[in-house]
Amino acid sequence: MAQIVNGWIDATPWMIRDLPADEIEALIAKGMPQREMWVIGDPVEGYISIEAEIAHIWGFYCSRTGLGLGKCLLDHAKEGRDFLSLNTHVPNADAQRFYAREGFEAVAELPPGPVATVSETETRVPTGIRELRMEWRR
């Protein structure tokens, strides 16, 4: 999973690498006991990570897009739920189009900047890249 995230960061010109690759791997490992996580592919080509108590998607990456992998993961995440939320970077227009096709709507723009608490479970990291909060309701 970390390899997919790190590959995406390195291949995305507007994305700022704010953490070394090994720290991203450590963060994903730390989140595993606290989240529902599903992977797709063998070897893994995509994953989704959800904090079930608040129905928030914290990580959702695919190494290749346009193959239906993300849709499959998201459809699985929607099963048994009436609500999901996620954050996506403002410059990530492709992701926003995908989420809109899947019924998500932008509800707020989150400020970039220093680490700051946004809610009990959400903090912003200092990448300097604005994010959109998007929500899906059945």
Pairing of strands 131-137, 83-89: antiparallel
Q: What is the mean pLDDT of the chain?
A: 90
Given this model, what pLDDT does residue 128 score?
Answer: 76
Share of the chain above pLDDT 90, in %: 77
Each domain of the chain, given as residue ranges in start order, spans 2-137
Determine the 3-state secondary structure of 38 from DSSP: strand
Closest CA to 38 of 70, 86, 85, 81: 70
Q: What residues contact residue 69 under an 8 Å CB cut-off, 6+ apart?
A: 40, 41, 45, 46, 62
In this predicted structure, the answer to whether residue 62 has a pLDDT above a threshold of 80 is: yes
User: pLDDT by residue (tens digit) across 83-102?
Assistant: 999 999 999 999 999 999 99
Please state which architecture CATH assigns to domain 2-137.
3-Layer(aba) Sandwich (3.40)
* Token output for 7: 């590959």
User: pLDDT by residue (tens digit) across 111-125?
Assistant: 776 554 545 555 545
User: pLDDT by residue (tens digit) across 12-47?
Assistant: 999 988 889 999 999 999 989 999 999 999 999 999
Asked if residues 104 and 134 have their Cβ atoms less than 8 Å apart, the reply is yes
Q: What is the pTM of this model?
A: 0.86
Asked if residues 48 and 57 have their Cβ atoms less than 8 Å apart, the reply is yes
Given this model, what pLDDT does residue 120 score?
Answer: 52
* Token output for 14: 């507007």
